[in-house]
Amino acid sequence: MKIGFLVLLLFIFTSCHNGNTNVSTGNNTIIYDFPVTQIAESEKIDLEIIGINDLMVIDTLLFAFKASGYNDFFEMYSTDNWQYLGKFLSQGRGPDEFLSVQFSQDYFFKDDNLVLWISDGALQKRALLNITQSLRIGRTVCDTIFRITSDCSYFQVNDSMVLLQKYVPGNICLSVQNQHTGQTIQEYEFLKSYIPKSIPVPLLSMGITRHPEKDLFAGNMLFFNQINVFSSDMKTNFSLSYQPPIDIFETAHLPESDFILYYSSLQVSSEYIYALYVNKKDNLFSHAEGETEIHVFNWEGAPIAKIRIPDNIIYFAVDEKHHYIYGLKGNEELYRYKFEI
Protein backbone atom coordinates (compact mmCIF):
# COMPACT_ATOMS: atom_id res chain seq x y z
CA MET A 1 0.00 0.00 0.00
CA LYS A 2 2.78 2.40 0.94
CA ILE A 3 4.69 1.59 -2.28
CA GLY A 4 1.57 2.23 -4.35
CA PHE A 5 1.08 5.58 -2.64
CA LEU A 6 4.68 6.60 -3.39
CA VAL A 7 4.29 5.62 -7.04
CA LEU A 8 1.09 7.70 -7.21
CA LEU A 9 2.88 10.69 -5.67
CA LEU A 10 5.72 10.34 -8.20
CA PHE A 11 3.22 10.20 -11.06
CA ILE A 12 1.42 13.32 -9.82
CA PHE A 13 4.72 15.13 -9.28
CA THR A 14 6.12 14.44 -12.73
CA SER A 15 2.80 15.08 -14.46
CA CYS A 16 2.71 18.56 -12.89
CA HIS A 17 5.89 19.40 -14.79
CA ASN A 18 6.11 19.59 -18.53
CA GLY A 19 9.11 17.55 -19.59
CA ASN A 20 9.16 19.44 -22.87
CA THR A 21 11.06 22.39 -21.36
CA ASN A 22 14.72 23.19 -21.01
CA VAL A 23 16.38 21.22 -18.24
CA SER A 24 18.49 24.04 -16.78
CA THR A 25 17.33 26.59 -14.21
CA GLY A 26 17.89 29.66 -16.39
CA ASN A 27 15.45 31.35 -18.77
CA ASN A 28 15.16 29.65 -22.14
CA THR A 29 14.87 31.05 -25.65
CA ILE A 30 13.85 28.83 -28.54
CA ILE A 31 15.78 29.41 -31.78
CA TYR A 32 13.80 28.41 -34.85
CA ASP A 33 16.14 29.77 -37.50
CA PHE A 34 19.36 31.67 -38.10
CA PRO A 35 19.63 34.98 -39.97
CA VAL A 36 22.40 33.56 -42.19
CA THR A 37 22.96 30.06 -43.56
CA GLN A 38 26.25 29.22 -45.24
CA ILE A 39 27.16 26.06 -47.14
CA ALA A 40 30.86 25.37 -46.65
CA GLU A 41 33.04 23.62 -49.21
CA SER A 42 35.29 20.81 -48.05
CA GLU A 43 39.08 20.93 -48.43
CA LYS A 44 41.23 18.03 -47.18
CA ILE A 45 44.34 18.93 -45.18
CA ASP A 46 47.41 16.84 -45.96
CA LEU A 47 48.41 16.10 -42.37
CA GLU A 48 48.60 12.61 -40.91
CA ILE A 49 48.38 12.78 -37.13
CA ILE A 50 48.13 9.30 -35.64
CA GLY A 51 45.73 9.00 -32.70
CA ILE A 52 44.26 12.50 -32.94
CA ASN A 53 41.11 13.01 -30.84
CA ASP A 54 40.46 16.73 -30.74
CA LEU A 55 41.48 20.08 -32.19
CA MET A 56 42.04 23.60 -30.95
CA VAL A 57 43.24 26.77 -32.68
CA ILE A 58 44.78 29.67 -30.76
CA ASP A 59 45.96 32.55 -32.93
CA THR A 60 48.10 30.81 -35.61
CA LEU A 61 48.63 27.55 -33.69
CA LEU A 62 46.74 24.35 -34.48
CA PHE A 63 46.72 21.98 -31.50
CA ALA A 64 46.20 18.30 -32.27
CA PHE A 65 45.25 16.50 -29.04
CA LYS A 66 45.78 12.75 -28.60
CA ALA A 67 43.98 11.39 -25.55
CA SER A 68 46.05 8.18 -25.61
CA GLY A 69 49.27 10.14 -25.13
CA TYR A 70 50.78 8.28 -28.09
CA ASN A 71 53.94 10.19 -29.09
CA ASP A 72 52.93 12.88 -26.54
CA PHE A 73 49.51 14.40 -25.87
CA PHE A 74 49.88 17.48 -28.10
CA GLU A 75 51.27 18.09 -31.57
CA MET A 76 51.33 21.67 -32.86
CA TYR A 77 51.31 23.12 -36.36
CA SER A 78 51.27 26.58 -37.89
CA THR A 79 47.97 27.50 -39.55
CA ASP A 80 49.93 29.80 -41.88
CA ASN A 81 51.93 27.10 -43.68
CA TRP A 82 51.26 23.74 -41.88
CA GLN A 83 54.79 23.71 -40.52
CA TYR A 84 55.24 21.15 -37.74
CA LEU A 85 56.19 23.02 -34.57
CA GLY A 86 56.69 20.25 -32.05
CA LYS A 87 55.09 17.82 -29.62
CA PHE A 88 54.60 18.28 -25.87
CA LEU A 89 53.34 16.61 -22.69
CA SER A 90 54.77 13.12 -22.44
CA GLN A 91 52.89 10.21 -20.91
CA GLY A 92 54.34 8.97 -17.64
CA ARG A 93 54.69 9.69 -13.93
CA GLY A 94 57.58 12.15 -14.05
CA PRO A 95 57.46 15.79 -12.88
CA ASP A 96 56.28 17.13 -16.26
CA GLU A 97 54.55 13.92 -17.38
CA PHE A 98 50.87 12.96 -17.26
CA LEU A 99 48.83 9.76 -17.41
CA SER A 100 45.71 11.50 -18.72
CA VAL A 101 45.01 15.04 -19.84
CA GLN A 102 41.81 17.07 -19.70
CA PHE A 103 41.58 20.62 -21.01
CA SER A 104 38.86 22.97 -22.14
CA GLN A 105 40.31 26.05 -23.84
CA ASP A 106 41.41 27.49 -20.48
CA TYR A 107 44.16 29.59 -22.05
CA PHE A 108 45.38 33.15 -21.55
CA PHE A 109 48.46 35.31 -22.10
CA LYS A 110 50.81 35.77 -19.16
CA ASP A 111 53.78 38.14 -19.61
CA ASP A 112 53.53 37.68 -23.41
CA ASN A 113 53.49 33.90 -22.97
CA LEU A 114 50.57 31.75 -24.13
CA VAL A 115 49.63 29.38 -21.29
CA LEU A 116 47.04 26.61 -21.05
CA TRP A 117 45.48 25.00 -17.95
CA ILE A 118 45.40 21.20 -18.02
CA SER A 119 44.36 18.56 -15.46
CA ASP A 120 45.25 14.94 -14.81
CA GLY A 121 42.60 13.12 -12.79
CA ALA A 122 44.64 9.92 -12.62
CA LEU A 123 47.64 11.60 -10.98
CA GLN A 124 45.46 14.22 -9.27
CA LYS A 125 47.42 17.22 -10.46
CA ARG A 126 46.72 20.43 -12.33
CA ALA A 127 49.27 22.34 -14.38
CA LEU A 128 49.78 25.55 -16.31
CA LEU A 129 51.43 24.55 -19.59
CA ASN A 130 53.56 27.35 -21.03
CA ILE A 131 53.06 26.96 -24.79
CA THR A 132 55.36 29.84 -25.77
CA GLN A 133 58.34 28.59 -23.75
CA SER A 134 57.73 24.96 -24.75
CA LEU A 135 57.90 25.97 -28.42
CA ARG A 136 60.97 28.13 -27.81
CA ILE A 137 63.13 25.44 -26.17
CA GLY A 138 61.55 22.36 -27.76
CA ARG A 139 60.37 20.58 -24.62
CA THR A 140 57.48 20.73 -22.15
CA VAL A 141 57.52 23.70 -19.77
CA CYS A 142 54.97 23.90 -16.95
CA ASP A 143 54.94 27.12 -14.94
CA THR A 144 52.77 25.69 -12.19
CA ILE A 145 51.97 22.16 -11.04
CA PHE A 146 49.92 21.43 -7.93
CA ARG A 147 47.81 18.69 -6.41
CA ILE A 148 44.03 18.42 -6.76
CA THR A 149 41.98 16.13 -4.55
CA SER A 150 38.65 16.13 -6.35
CA ASP A 151 37.51 13.94 -9.25
CA CYS A 152 35.51 16.88 -10.64
CA SER A 153 36.13 18.63 -13.95
CA TYR A 154 38.02 21.90 -13.41
CA PHE A 155 37.47 25.23 -15.20
CA GLN A 156 39.45 28.34 -14.40
CA VAL A 157 37.51 31.43 -13.25
CA ASN A 158 40.53 33.62 -12.46
CA ASP A 159 43.99 33.28 -10.93
CA SER A 160 42.62 32.07 -7.60
CA MET A 161 39.16 30.62 -8.30
CA VAL A 162 38.06 27.50 -10.18
CA LEU A 163 34.65 26.17 -11.19
CA LEU A 164 34.15 22.47 -10.47
CA GLN A 165 31.60 20.30 -12.25
CA LYS A 166 30.36 17.06 -10.70
CA TYR A 167 27.38 14.85 -11.52
CA VAL A 168 25.01 13.90 -8.71
CA PRO A 169 21.80 11.83 -9.03
CA GLY A 170 19.38 13.83 -11.18
CA ASN A 171 21.53 16.93 -11.42
CA ILE A 172 24.84 18.66 -12.13
CA CYS A 173 26.58 20.25 -9.17
CA LEU A 174 28.68 23.33 -9.87
CA SER A 175 30.88 24.78 -7.15
CA VAL A 176 33.29 27.69 -7.03
CA GLN A 177 36.41 27.00 -4.98
CA ASN A 178 39.57 28.78 -3.98
CA GLN A 179 42.20 27.03 -6.05
CA HIS A 180 44.90 27.39 -3.40
CA THR A 181 42.99 26.48 -0.23
CA GLY A 182 40.21 24.24 -1.60
CA GLN A 183 37.59 26.32 0.24
CA THR A 184 34.14 26.21 -1.37
CA ILE A 185 32.80 29.73 -2.00
CA GLN A 186 29.48 28.95 -3.69
CA GLU A 187 27.66 25.83 -4.83
CA TYR A 188 24.68 25.32 -7.13
CA GLU A 189 22.54 22.59 -8.60
CA PHE A 190 22.46 23.56 -12.25
CA LEU A 191 19.42 21.59 -13.44
CA LYS A 192 15.77 21.81 -12.41
CA SER A 193 14.88 20.14 -9.15
CA TYR A 194 12.04 17.99 -10.51
CA ILE A 195 14.36 15.81 -12.60
CA PRO A 196 14.13 12.32 -11.06
CA LYS A 197 17.25 11.01 -9.36
CA SER A 198 16.79 7.82 -11.35
CA ILE A 199 17.59 9.61 -14.63
CA PRO A 200 20.63 7.93 -16.24
CA VAL A 201 23.72 10.03 -15.49
CA PRO A 202 24.97 9.99 -19.14
CA LEU A 203 21.70 11.64 -20.22
CA LEU A 204 22.64 14.79 -18.29
CA SER A 205 26.11 15.10 -19.83
CA MET A 206 27.22 18.68 -20.41
CA GLY A 207 30.51 19.96 -21.77
CA ILE A 208 31.71 23.32 -20.46
CA THR A 209 33.90 25.89 -22.22
CA ARG A 210 35.11 29.19 -20.75
CA HIS A 211 35.01 32.64 -22.32
CA PRO A 212 38.65 33.60 -23.04
CA GLU A 213 38.52 36.83 -21.01
CA LYS A 214 35.34 37.00 -18.90
CA ASP A 215 33.66 35.08 -16.09
CA LEU A 216 31.31 33.41 -18.57
CA PHE A 217 30.86 29.78 -19.54
CA ALA A 218 29.01 27.97 -22.30
CA GLY A 219 27.67 24.47 -21.73
CA ASN A 220 26.56 22.05 -24.43
CA MET A 221 23.99 19.49 -23.37
CA LEU A 222 24.92 16.41 -25.38
CA PHE A 223 21.48 14.79 -25.39
CA PHE A 224 19.31 17.92 -25.25
CA ASN A 225 19.14 20.45 -28.05
CA GLN A 226 20.30 23.39 -25.95
CA ILE A 227 23.26 25.58 -25.12
CA ASN A 228 23.60 27.06 -21.62
CA VAL A 229 25.35 30.36 -20.88
CA PHE A 230 26.21 31.20 -17.28
CA SER A 231 28.67 32.94 -14.98
CA SER A 232 30.31 31.33 -11.96
CA ASP A 233 28.02 33.27 -9.59
CA MET A 234 24.93 32.44 -11.72
CA LYS A 235 24.02 36.11 -12.07
CA THR A 236 24.08 35.32 -15.77
CA ASN A 237 22.16 32.11 -16.47
CA PHE A 238 20.13 31.40 -19.61
CA SER A 239 19.76 28.73 -22.26
CA LEU A 240 19.13 28.53 -25.99
CA SER A 241 17.20 25.66 -27.57
CA TYR A 242 17.39 24.91 -31.27
CA GLN A 243 13.74 24.06 -31.95
CA PRO A 244 11.47 23.18 -28.96
CA PRO A 245 13.30 21.50 -26.06
CA ILE A 246 13.50 17.72 -25.91
CA ASP A 247 11.17 16.02 -23.44
CA ILE A 248 13.36 14.65 -20.64
CA PHE A 249 10.77 12.14 -19.42
CA GLU A 250 10.33 10.61 -22.87
CA THR A 251 14.07 10.54 -23.48
CA ALA A 252 14.74 8.88 -20.11
CA HIS A 253 12.71 5.84 -21.17
CA LEU A 254 14.88 5.25 -24.25
CA PRO A 255 17.76 2.79 -24.23
CA GLU A 256 21.11 4.60 -24.33
CA SER A 257 21.65 3.25 -27.86
CA ASP A 258 18.73 5.43 -28.99
CA PHE A 259 19.96 8.66 -27.38
CA ILE A 260 20.27 11.40 -29.98
CA LEU A 261 23.49 13.40 -29.83
CA TYR A 262 22.68 17.06 -30.44
CA TYR A 263 25.44 19.52 -29.47
CA SER A 264 28.56 17.38 -29.21
CA SER A 265 31.19 20.09 -28.63
CA LEU A 266 31.86 23.82 -28.45
CA GLN A 267 34.54 26.27 -29.48
CA VAL A 268 34.38 29.86 -28.30
CA SER A 269 35.98 33.22 -28.96
CA SER A 270 35.63 36.57 -27.21
CA GLU A 271 32.60 37.34 -29.38
CA TYR A 272 31.02 34.07 -30.49
CA ILE A 273 30.00 30.58 -29.37
CA TYR A 274 30.43 27.90 -32.07
CA ALA A 275 28.50 24.68 -31.45
CA LEU A 276 28.74 21.43 -33.42
CA TYR A 277 25.19 20.23 -34.04
CA VAL A 278 25.19 16.52 -34.91
CA ASN A 279 21.55 15.37 -34.58
CA LYS A 280 22.41 11.67 -34.95
CA LYS A 281 22.24 8.62 -32.69
CA ASP A 282 25.13 8.71 -30.26
CA ASN A 283 26.36 5.19 -31.00
CA LEU A 284 26.50 5.93 -34.74
CA PHE A 285 27.76 9.48 -35.02
CA SER A 286 31.53 8.79 -35.25
CA HIS A 287 31.07 6.72 -38.42
CA ALA A 288 27.75 8.03 -39.75
CA GLU A 289 27.33 9.62 -43.16
CA GLY A 290 25.75 12.95 -44.00
CA GLU A 291 26.39 16.54 -43.08
CA THR A 292 26.74 18.27 -39.74
CA GLU A 293 26.19 21.91 -38.79
CA ILE A 294 28.01 24.60 -36.86
CA HIS A 295 25.60 26.93 -35.03
CA VAL A 296 27.00 30.33 -34.14
CA PHE A 297 25.61 32.49 -31.31
CA ASN A 298 26.94 35.57 -29.57
CA TRP A 299 27.41 35.62 -25.80
CA GLU A 300 24.14 37.51 -25.37
CA GLY A 301 22.28 34.54 -26.89
CA ALA A 302 21.47 35.94 -30.33
CA PRO A 303 21.68 33.47 -33.26
CA ILE A 304 24.28 34.64 -35.78
CA ALA A 305 24.74 31.96 -38.44
CA LYS A 306 24.29 28.33 -39.37
CA ILE A 307 27.24 26.80 -41.26
CA ARG A 308 26.40 23.57 -43.06
CA ILE A 309 29.38 21.20 -43.14
CA PRO A 310 29.19 18.59 -45.93
CA ASP A 311 31.01 15.95 -43.86
CA ASN A 312 30.24 14.06 -40.68
CA ILE A 313 32.88 15.70 -38.51
CA ILE A 314 33.19 14.63 -34.88
CA TYR A 315 35.49 17.40 -33.55
CA PHE A 316 36.24 20.87 -34.80
CA ALA A 317 38.23 24.04 -34.21
CA VAL A 318 37.73 27.60 -35.39
CA ASP A 319 40.41 29.79 -36.93
CA GLU A 320 38.83 33.25 -36.84
CA LYS A 321 42.00 34.91 -38.14
CA HIS A 322 41.88 33.05 -41.47
CA HIS A 323 38.11 32.36 -41.41
CA TYR A 324 38.38 28.58 -41.44
CA ILE A 325 36.69 25.80 -39.52
CA TYR A 326 38.82 22.69 -39.11
CA GLY A 327 36.93 19.43 -38.89
CA LEU A 328 38.07 15.95 -37.84
CA LYS A 329 36.29 12.88 -39.22
CA GLY A 330 36.03 9.54 -37.45
CA ASN A 331 38.81 8.09 -39.64
CA GLU A 332 41.21 10.82 -38.38
CA GLU A 333 41.11 12.74 -41.68
CA LEU A 334 41.37 16.49 -41.27
CA TYR A 335 39.41 19.00 -43.37
CA ARG A 336 38.89 22.73 -43.40
CA TYR A 337 35.92 24.85 -44.41
CA LYS A 338 35.89 28.54 -45.31
CA PHE A 339 33.30 30.66 -43.51
CA GLU A 340 32.37 34.32 -43.13
CA ILE A 341 30.45 36.02 -40.33
CATH code: domain of residue 292: 2.120.10.30
Does residue 17 form part of some domain? no
Report pLDDT for 289: 81
Q: Please, what is the average pLDDT of the chain?
A: 90
Q: Torsions phi, psi of 237, nearest 5? A: -165, 100
Beta-bridge mates of residue 178: 161
Q: What is the pLDDT of residue 96?
A: 87
* pLDDT for residue 19: 56
110, pLDDT greater than 70: yes
- The reply to whether 232 falls in a domain is yes
Pairing of strands 303-309, 37-39: parallel
pLDDT digits (tens, 9 = 90+) for 5-56: 444 444 434 444 555 678 999 999 999 999 999 999 999 998 889 889 899 9
The answer for 59, left when phi > 0, alpha when psi is -120 to 50, beta otherwise, is left
C-alpha 341: how far from chain center: 22
The pTM of the full predicted model, rounded to 2 decimals, is 0.91
Q: What would the mean pLDDT of 223-231 be, rounded to a whole number?
A: 97
Question: Mean of the pLDDT values across residues 313-333?
Answer: 94
Would residue 8 count as lying in a domain? no
User: In this structure, is residue 59 part of a structural domain?
Assistant: yes
Write the pLDDT tens digit of every residue in 247-299: 999 999 999 889 999 999 999 999 999 999 999 998 877 777 889 999 999 99
What is the span of the domain harbouring residue 59? 22-338
Smallest CA-to-CA distance from 92 within 117, 66, 70 is with: 70
* Inside any domain, residue 4: no
Residue 222: the pLDDT is 95
Is the pLDDT at 318 greater than 70? The verdict is yes
147 is a domain residue: yes
9 part of a folded domain? no
Residues in the chain: 341
Q: Contact 304/253 with Cβ under 8 angstroms? A: no
> Per the domain annotation, does 173 fall within a domain?
yes
Render pLDDT for 122-156 as a digit per residue (tens, 0 to 9): 899 999 999 999 999 999 999 988 888 777 899 99
- State the total domains in the chain: 1
**HEC per residue, the chain:** CHHHHHHHHHHHHHHCCCCCCCCECCEEEEECCCCCEEECCCEECCCCCCCCCEEEEECCEEEEECCCCCCCCEEEEECCCCCEEEEECEECCCCCEECCCECCCCEEEECCEEEEEEEECCCCEEEEEEHHHHHHHCCCCEEEEEECCCCCEEEECCCCEEEEEEEECCEEEEEEEECCCCCEEEEEECECCCCCCCCCHHHHCEEEEECCCCCCEEEEECCCCEEEEECCCCCCEEEEEECCCCCHHHHHCCCHHHCEEEEEEEEECCCEEEEEEEEEECCCHHHCCCCEEEEEEECCCCEEEEEEECCCEEEEEEECCCCEEEEEECCCCEEEEECCC
**Tens digits of residue pLDDT in 265-274:** 999 999 999 9
